[in-house]
Structure 1
Amino acid sequence: MATQIPAARASRIGSALAAGLGLIRTLFTRAGTRRRRQEEILGDLLRQLTLMTEEIHRANLIQQYRLTLDQMDRAIDDPALADAGSTLTGLPVAKRRQMIFANREYGSLLMSYRVGLYDWDELLGHLRVLCRNKLFAEYWDRTAEHRRSLPEGSVEAKVGAVVDVMIEELADDPEEWWVVGPSSSGPPPRPGAGESGPPGGHQS
């Protein structure tokens, strides 16, 4: 014969089971909430770490370029130092200074893009103006061999290819200089930690 459980006792057992199940749900809910919160905190930390790493890389890049500029300025002032750092031979002192300064101007524009001061459209605009300068065009022609050693796919290689097109198109039609080169679509990505050399670093 089946054991009969009084209704009051059955009700208490049912209430206890319901309370137990509710407690289990609460514990799991709290655990899930804590886990989601921990994941959110971890995600925030990773984003902050990424930003900090990029900022440190950007600061190192700027400092490295400052050293490069200092060397260029010394070479402009002292022909003996220019001889030590130049691969262009047979140039008068004044001409070599002009080539070094042209390299300096190009490197400054490229650096401004790499650290985010200029966007792609702004860089193209400044390059169009620079390419109109005959001394810069001469510098670009004299240093064509230097750019062959640039890593394919690097920012400097891609921007160098853009300058090649601009100078070629300006030679054909110098009047409409503001439309030479590529359109504003498809800018190369700014370098990450793997690309740390100073821009415009090819010797002149």
Structure 2
Amino acid sequence: MATQIPVAIGRSIGSAVAAGFGLLRESLTRGTRRRRQEEILLDLLRQLALMTEEVHRANLIQEHRITMEQMNRTIDDPSLADARSTLAGVSEAKRRQMIFANGQYASLLLAYRVGTFEWTELLGHLRILCRNDIFAEYWDRTAEHRRSLPGDSLERRLGKVIDGMLEELADDPDRWWVVGSVDAAPE
């Protein structure tokens, strides 16, 4: 005699299997949906980080623009130069030259900070700038200003590199293109 499953029980088992498959499909769909939501969230966080960096660069550029406008005004008006500069015992013409040298250095530093060029390119520009006697004098006269910078700041580390460049140039000015340590690159 063949075993027969009553029709009602067969339907119940079939319904249970169908319901089980439905729950499995739903949980898989939820898992897939959750993973997709996590992927979207991570992508949004990456975009937010990029946007934050871009806003930071824009702020650096804006601050630099304001500073350069002030420097240009102090170069044009000697009475403002006296208010801005802390260098004592320099002529009006020399003060203007020093302010301009500071502007050149600040522009190179900004260009590096916003990613216009890499560390080795920055060093190349600084090697050329360090060959200028006005810049070398400016750098020497402002050594005290750099001592107050935090030791781990980019400007403090770069200052040490420039100090080394100027020392090396004093020893052998004919090899200006190789002065400065490339290994001193900041993180």
User: How high is the TM-score relative to the length of structure 1?
Assistant: 0.84
Of structures 1 and 2, the one with the larger relative CO (CA 8 A, separation 6+) is: 1
Q: CA deviation at 1:40?
A: 1.2
Q: Which runs of 5 or more residues in structure 2 are unaligned?
A: none
Structural RMSD (CA) = 1.6
User: Could you tell me which residue of structure 2 aligns to residue 159 of structure 1?
Assistant: 158
User: Could you tell me which residue of structure 2 aligns to residue 54 of structure 1?
Assistant: 53
Q: Percent same amino acid among aligned pairs?
A: 61
What SS is found at the alignment partner of 2:151? Answer: coil
Q: Which moved more, 1:143-152 or 1:5-14?
A: 5-14
Letter of the aligned partner of 1:32 in structure 2? G
User: Could you tell me which residue of structure 2 aligns to residue 181 of structure 1?
Assistant: 180
User: Could you tell me which residue of structure 2 aligns to residue 91 of structure 1?
Assistant: 90
Q: CA deviation at 1:176?
A: 1.0
What SS is found at the alignment partner of 1:7? Answer: coil
What SS is found at the alignment partner of 1:87? Answer: coil
1:139 aligns with 2:128: no
Deviations, residues 145-196 of structure 1 (Å, cap 9, x unaligned): 000111221111111111111111111111111111112x45214xxxxxxx
Letter of the aligned partner of 1:177 in structure 2? W
Q: How many residue pairs were aligned?
A: 184
1:168 aligns with 2:162: no
User: Could you tell me which residue of structure 2 aligns to residue 6 of structure 1?
Assistant: 4
Q: CA deviation at 1:13?
A: 4.4
Write the distance in 2 (CA, Å) between the matches of 1:18 and 1:187.
65
User: Could you tell me which residue of structure 1 aligns to residue 68 of structure 2?
Assistant: 69
User: How high is the TM-score relative to the length of structure 2?
Assistant: 0.92
What SS is found at the alignment partner of 1:151? Answer: coil
Letter of the aligned partner of 2:4 in structure 1? P
User: Could you tell me which residue of structure 2 aligns to residue 15 of structure 1?
Assistant: 14
Write the distance in 2 (CA, Å) between the matches of 1:143 and 1:186.
21
Alignment of 1:16-31 (within 5 A): 16-31=15-30
Q: CA deviation at 1:6?
A: 3.2
CA spacing shift, 1:145–1:18, aligned 2, 3 Å: same
Letter of the aligned partner of 2:49 in structure 1? T
- Larger % of helix: which? 2
- Which runs of structure 1 show a deviation greater than 3 angstroms over 4 or more consecutive aligned residues? 5-17
Write the distance in 1 (CA, Å) between the matches of 2:74 and 2:156.
25
Q: CA deviation at 1:11?
A: 5.0
What SS is found at the alignment partner of 2:185? Answer: coil
